Structure 1
Amino acid sequence: MKSLKIALSMFKMKKWSGGVVIIALAIILVFSYSLMGTRTQKKQSYDFFRNHPAGDSHLKDNHPAKSPQLELKKATKSSKKPHYINVEGLSDLYAQNNISKDESNALVVWFQMRLLLSRSDALPETNQGIREASIAWKDLLSKIKENKAAQLSNINKTEDKNCPYSVSTIDLTTSSGETILDIPCGLAEDSSISVLGIPDGHSRSFQIQLLGSQLPVESNPPIILQYNVSLPGDNMTEEPFVVQNTWTKEYGWGKEERCPSHRSVNIPKVDGLVLCNEKVVRSTMEENGNASSVGDVSANVSQGIAHERANFPFVEGNAFTATLWVGLEGFHMTVNGRHETSFVYREKLEPWLVSGVKVTGGVDILSALARGLPVPEDNDLVVDVEHLKAPLVTRKRLVMLIGIFSTGNNFERRMALRRSWMQYEAARSGDVAVRFFIGLHKNSQVNLELWKEALVYGDIQLMPFVDYYSLISLKTIAICIMGTKILPAKYIMKTDDDAFVRIDQVLTSLKEKPSNGLLYGRISLDSSPHRDRDSKWYISNEEWPHDAYPPWAHGPGYIISRDIAKFIVRGHQERDLKLFKLEDVAMGIWIEQFKNSGQEVHYMTDDRFYNAGCETDYILAHYQSPRLVLCLWEKLQKEHQPACCE
């Protein structure tokens, strides 16, 4: 009996000690797994590219995630959430490459965005933006490799064609249908193209076309703008007119915009200019309106057409100078010094895509000049380059991260910001970090210049898609990723590269604001979707079925608190948040969901965030050219007052 008790007690002891061993092993495994997870999260894109070759199963588009937790959530909620899909070209953007660790600093957010780009509910232009980006990326990698090989071999490699300020042709002898100007690096705001020509009478019409950038796999380039001129006919009843339109391979010709349009009221404006020459339209309509009988109307119609013929700027045998210039909202044509037409930019057909000018039809071109083209600075000649580089970030948590939306060929705008408000002490000391978020360009030279700029200044984050306007919400998420995972910050601000931000006043104002659940900027509390299909901000019922939007802050500049940014990043990782193409409204929608999750939201509006222009008490001024940005900074330094320059 005694031996039985001893045996029983030994058995219990073994059972107890075995349990301790099992528990200890479990703790060790959990601790080791957490360390592995932590190290994985902190990997740079350099490590990712080095350790995951193109054929790795982790990189296959149809199996982008390997986390057990993620797979479990997909299995339990697949019916409620978008799934992951295979996207053409995405693997190429994440394949192994020859990028060094230092160079990969421009790609740290890029690495974090793969799953976001693989969602089945992606924004409509995502597939095209990724497919075109993959081609542009491979071309850029090839150029980088060539440059490195040339440096190692001490070969003086001939530089690729650069981005000049102007290009011109004189005494042209081109036949109809030829490209008369090559635009190496696209157009930017205030760029202009002037054409001197004479309608030859062989045809009653001629066309001036702005051609878009063309990738090697594309058979025909898009037409960013066609300016189709129909000359007056011999018959007095045939009126002259201009038709403006666009063309893409996907959709063919767009909606024609004819001028004169004979609209009597509500003539829309572009950059403050009417779509058609007011003098021609108004005179004709007034004459028709004063008619008292059918006969008078008929007579006035003929007189009106004759009046239009007299005012029409293009006449057979007469020389003309037509200047097409780039505005903020659209293209504008002046002929012989008089404004004639305006044309709103259409989606995916923006001026930065222009690669050439082509003329067809009955016109003899004498000369052509494009000026005000985007030009990168020669970094070897920039005397203050060290002072313009992004400071080293040493703080564990920033006070604020400022993410700036920019486009590849906006070289001058970025340099103006580096020389102005990015020089605030808070930005130079490391309390505030400022980064540009830029998608790839379809133009290989622009991408190469952008890459060089990123390496020199260290303040650019490249995005793994072509920089279409409809995809800018992805940049908003990218800024939140950077402000929570890479450069953790208490506040995250979004702004544009044509905005001037008084960082000192932003920080002062934030001291009086809640540090959680904050949306600070110029808040729109009562707005509704644009249902007009021709609107740049058109939203269908499928995209947003409600009659109104939740509160949102105007896009030129707003600030959110860290908890909201974390909610947005996590919500998109878990596919709980909806993607929406209007980025500022999208932020409002996501914050509304943050609020619905039980969190308190503080909508703090401030009218000193000017979304259209500048006022003397500004915290943020928008639509500021590089010249105005530098002028505002100079006034602040000399007068210590926020005075506008125009």
Structure 2
Amino acid sequence: MKRGKSDTKLDTFVSLSKQRSIQIVIAVAVFYMLLVTLEIPFVFDSRFTSETTTATSTTLTRFSHLQSEQDLHDKDAPSRPMNWVSHNSAQPMRSQLARSTTKPNKILSTLGFEPKTFDPTKKDGSVSLHKAAKTAWEDGLKIWDEMESGKMQVLEVKKPENKSEPCPNSVSLSGSEFLKRMRMVELPCGLTLGSHITVVGKPRAAHAEKDPKIALVKEAGETVMVSQFMMELLGLKTVEAEDPPRILHFNPRLKGDWSLKPVIEQNTCYRMQWGTALRCEGWGSKADEETVDGQVKCEKWVRDDEDDDKSEESKATWWLNRLIGRTKKVSFDWPYPFAEEKLFVLTLSAGLEGYHINVDGRHATSFPYRTGYTLEDATGLAVTGDIDVHSVFAASLPSNHPSFSPQRHLEMSSRWKAPPLSVGSVELFIGVLSAGNHFSERMAVRKSWMQHRLIKSSNVVARFFVALHARKEVNLELKKEAEFFGDIVIVPYMDNYDLVVLKTVAICEYGVRTVRAKYIMKGDDDTFVRVDSIIDEVNEIPAGRSLYIGNINYYHKPLRYGKWAVTYEEWPEEDYPPYANGPGYILSSDIGRFIVSEFESHKLRLFKMEDVSMGMWVEQFNSSRPVEYVHSLKFCQFGCIEGYYTAHYQSPKQMICLWEKLQKQGRPQCCNMR
């Protein structure tokens, strides 16, 4: 019995031991599952952090010489690798996957600027340019550092759109007041439908000129008798520090015109580019010619004004027919509206379709509105030339300030933001040169050809390249614009017309490194681009060939005199190399890589005319590898032509007009052909 009891106790002990073992195994299993479950995020975090750190380290090592870019990364995201993944949310995991298919957007150019980049001892004629570039680059970096550190402060100024600028219903000036204002009348709020301006003046007697701009001189030293004056409506508030556009140019030429007859010429001018002139030569408009608010564009006048007998006879015949009533409508040919040293009263009025000009109570000419401008844009009147102005009156002016300011016309809508960059290479990269204060121009580009499906799908990438402006407030606005829209690359130097060539090099660098494009195109912010036509044009060239496409100039010589003169020190050669006009040209990426490599190794020759510089670099590349030059007039240098690939000198409103016509009609059609 004792043994039996012992066996029972032993069995009970074994049974309890088994139960405890099972409980321990279960507890260990639960603990293990819990441990594994909690460990997974740490494993992923470690892996992603490691990969991210490695990638970041590689990127910084690759661009170790780009101090400006490194500074930008440090200041924008000093702890970004640690903040990419959260332990409490799966959302950053999706963000990480999104990052794997897109590239981060950088607003600062990664072109390698170094102290040795600009050598003042250069002996290739670019000494002054290198000195200017070195100073501009040093000043630009200081300004950029101030902007990044938040130390840049701008005094509070009223923005143009918030100004309580008065809008007078009328303006009146005497001749002496007009002279004190430098022959200019300001119209703060522009014009509106029904506005009219009256000028009382007297043309001066003709004087001799040796180099008249409106006549042809047969022999050197020959003089021509000239008497002419200009009345112009100007867009004074369009863009600061630039010549204002001439919204209406009214130019009576009493004597000195190349036709040897008195004429009236009317036109518009934008960025020194004249449109197609409307010349009234006394013939009168044709019956089938379109009118302006029912008025003919040009009235008829007596051309042979020296034939007094004919003039007197025509007057007598007119009065006779009037008295005896032979016809209900009797026509009479008046003389040319202006005469030397004879007082006149001219009235310019704004109609529905255009401007109308009456002289001494009679209609003289009408000029249709051109798409690039509105009545609000005409904020100044200038009268210059061979004329004495006695008084100026402007009435029926708008009582309200214009609803927008062209200088700050930005629409901060996500609709106009640039699409993200894809990780892979792209077919075409378009770099657009722009100035810091060209806010309206950039906005017009965003709303027009940058809406092309190839750009929206990131198969084609477009970016503005802008240098820093002399005014701090413009730079701060520019930085905000760049950060919001994501389509601006800031090249950190103080902007200067002679240094535009640096932006061109930056375009090449961005095209070959950041987006790895097959082809690189350079354009301007007043150039309209037909993206699909550009792609078709480059596809005409067999793959793998080096190419240079544009409106190419051959055997052009530098101007040695005048405003755009080039000295022999700057360009000692007699001819320029073949070069494509700057508003729009294309090159293959191998040429772009060559340019960047030469620049960063301090071997690239720089010249102040960026399009000539590009021609020079392509010619140098061509000496080692053949380049296919393709010339096409459809890369329009001056204005717009039918079937254009690019259209130049287009105002913001014309850019929108070209895009709308392209969308509605499916074919390119110019707005106000030039």
| SS of 2:484 mapped into structure 1 | helix
Pairing 1:632–2:658 present:
yes
Q: Which has the larger radius of gyration?
A: 2
Shift of 1:543: 2.8
- Contact 1:516–1:561 (CA under 8 A) maintained in structure 2: no
* Inter-partner Cα distance in structure 1 for 2:438 and 2:570: 31
Shift of 1:611: 2.9
Quote the residue 1:587 is aligned against: 614
Quote the residue 2:406 is aligned against: 374
Quote the residue 1:576 is aligned against: 603
Per-residue displacement from partner, 1:379-398 (whole Å, max 9, x unpaired)?
A: 35xxxx22311111132433
In structure 1, stretches of 5+ residues that fail to align are: 1-32, 52-101, 151-156, 205-237, 245-258, 291-306, 324-333, 340-354
Distance 1:515-1:378 versus aligned 2 partners, 3 A rule: same
- Contact 1:398–1:488 (CA under 8 A) maintained in structure 2: yes
| SS of 1:413 mapped into structure 2 | helix
* Inter-partner Cα distance in structure 1 for 2:645 and 2:484: 29
Equivalent residue in structure 1 for 2:422, among 394, 405, 419: 394
In structure 2, stretches of 5+ residues that fail to align are: 1-56, 76-102, 205-224, 232-252, 268-272, 283-300, 308-334, 351-356, 366-378
Q: Superposition RMSD on alpha carbons, in Å?
A: 6.1
| SS of 1:554 mapped into structure 2 | strand
Residues 191-590 of structure 1 mapped to structure 2, 5 A cutoff? 262=256, 271=274, 311=339, 374-380=406-412, 385-443=413-471, 446-465=474-493, 467-515=495-543, 518-524=546-552, 526-531=554-559, 533-534=561-562, 536=564, 538-590=565-617
* Inter-partner Cα distance in structure 2 for 1:166 and 1:314: 38
Report the AA paired with residue 109 of structure 2.
Answer: V
Pairing 1:641–2:667 present:
yes
Per-residue displacement from partner, 1:21-76 (whole Å, max 9, x unpaired)?
A: xxxxxxxxxxxx9997525157662526969xxxxxxxxxxxxxxxxxxxxxxxxx
Report the AA paired with residue 629 of structure 1.
Answer: M
Shift of 1:127: 3.1
* Inter-partner Cα distance in structure 2 for 1:131 and 1:44: 15
* Inter-partner Cα distance in structure 1 for 2:603 and 2:130: 21
* Inter-partner Cα distance in structure 2 for 1:111 and 1:406: 20
Distance 1:561-1:311 versus aligned 2 partners, 3 A rule: same
- Contact 1:402–1:494 (CA under 8 A) maintained in structure 2: yes
Distance 1:533-1:452 versus aligned 2 partners, 3 A rule: same
* Inter-partner Cα distance in structure 2 for 1:521 and 1:587: 12
Distance 1:123-1:435 versus aligned 2 partners, 3 A rule: farther
Question: Identity of aligned pairs, percent?
Answer: 29
- Contact 1:408–1:446 (CA under 8 A) maintained in structure 2: yes
- Contact 1:129–1:467 (CA under 8 A) maintained in structure 2: no
Which segment drifts farther, 451-460 or 438-447? 438-447
Per-residue displacement from partner, 1:251-306 (whole Å, max 9, x unpaired)?
A: xxxxxxxx989475899996157899999xxx9x9999x9xxxxxxxxxxxxxxxx
Quote the residue 2:69 is aligned against: 45
Shift of 1:584: 1.5
Shift of 1:197: 8.2
Quote the residue 2:629 is aligned against: 603
* Inter-partner Cα distance in structure 2 for 1:483 and 1:171: 54
Report the AA paired with residue 462 of structure 2.
Answer: V
Distance 1:116-1:147 versus aligned 2 partners, 3 A rule: closer
Equivalent residue in structure 2 for 1:127, among 117, 129, 132: 132
Q: So what's the TM-score if we normalise by structure 1?
A: 0.54
Report the AA paired with residue 624 of structure 1.
Answer: Q
Per-residue displacement from partner, 1:166-194 (whole Å, max 9, x unpaired)?
A: 9855667997856988999xx9xx9xxx9
Shift of 1:496: 1.8
| SS of 1:522 mapped into structure 2 | strand
| SS of 1:107 mapped into structure 2 | coil
Shift of 1:595: 1.9
Length, aligned pairs only: 465
Q: So what's the TM-score if we normalise by structure 2?
A: 0.52
| SS of 2:418 mapped into structure 1 | coil
* Inter-partner Cα distance in structure 2 for 1:401 and 1:48: 24
- Contact 2:109–2:492 (CA under 8 A) maintained in structure 1: no
- Contact 1:406–1:438 (CA under 8 A) maintained in structure 2: yes
- Contact 2:658–2:669 (CA under 8 A) maintained in structure 1: yes
Residues 105-144 of structure 1 mapped to structure 2, 5 A cutoff? 105-109=106-110, 112=113, 116=117, 119=120, 121=126, 124=129, 127=132, 134=139, 138=143
Report the AA paired with residue 619 of structure 2.
Answer: E
Shift of 1:437: 1.6
| SS of 2:64 mapped into structure 1 | helix
Distance 1:432-1:44 versus aligned 2 partners, 3 A rule: farther
* Inter-partner Cα distance in structure 1 for 2:226 and 2:670: 46
